[in-house]
Every structure is written in structure tokens, then in C-alpha cells.
Amino acid sequence: MQGYQLTFFTQQNRVHNHRPMHQWLLELAQSMQIRGVTVFIAQEGVGHHHRLHSAHFFDLAEQPVEITMVVSEQECDAIMQRLQAEPEMGLFYAKTPVQFGTIGQPED
């Protein structure tokens, strides 16, 4: 299949609708029946203001978080429309064309 890899970048302390942003995105994707979403928690990253964000022993608030999903063109359009309709979203993303599929029996 042809589609897109959507990767969203945020921080542990970012919230949307009173939920951590990465958790809110994960639940949105699940409610839209997106087949797979992976959340990566990073040690360090540089944000759009060229500031270093990292996990500290006592404070994980600025720890970088990456949310990745591979979707069909229709799923991509649907989730992007849904995100654009959200007030005060302010979420950076990357959209990359990909070919995807399953080899053998999928695990659940």
C-alpha cells in the first residue's frame, strides 16, 4: 500500500484538552481506527527555538516525545483535518510518503 508516515514532535509537559499531548494523539488515532501508533520518549532534542530539551533526573517536563504512525492517504487526510480543527493545537509534524504492508500473519 502507498501512504504516509506522520511523525509528530512534542514534549512531555505539553497538554491538549487536559491530557498529555502524546496521550491525546494516541487516543485520537485509536478513536479514528488508525492501525498502529508508536510513541518514542527521547533523552534529548533541539526544539524549533533552537533550545535543548532533555530529561533530567528530577524533572522530565521538557523530555522530547515523538509520535509516529503509518497511514493510508485517506487516513492521513482525515487525521490532518481533525487536527486542524482543534483550537490552539500548535503541533510540529513531518509527513513522508511511504510504501507499507504486512508480511506473514500480523501480531496483535
pTM of the predicted structure, to 2 decimals: 0.80
What SS3 state is found at 35?
coil
Angle at the Cα of 30 (from 28 to 34), degrees rounded to 5? 105
Which residues, 6+ apart, have CB-to-CB distance to 86 below 8 Å? 16
pLDDT in tens, 8-17: 999 888 899 9
Comparing 2 with 41, the larger pLDDT belongs to: 2
Q: Which domains does the chain have, with CATH numbers?
A: 2-99 (3.30.70.120)
Q: Each residue of 45-62: pLDDT tens digit?
A: 565 555 554 555 455 566
pLDDT, average across residues 74-98: 94
**Cβ of 98: how many Cβ atoms within 10 Å?**
13
In whole angstroms, how far apart are CA 51 and each of 22, 45, 47, 89?
20, 8, 5, 20
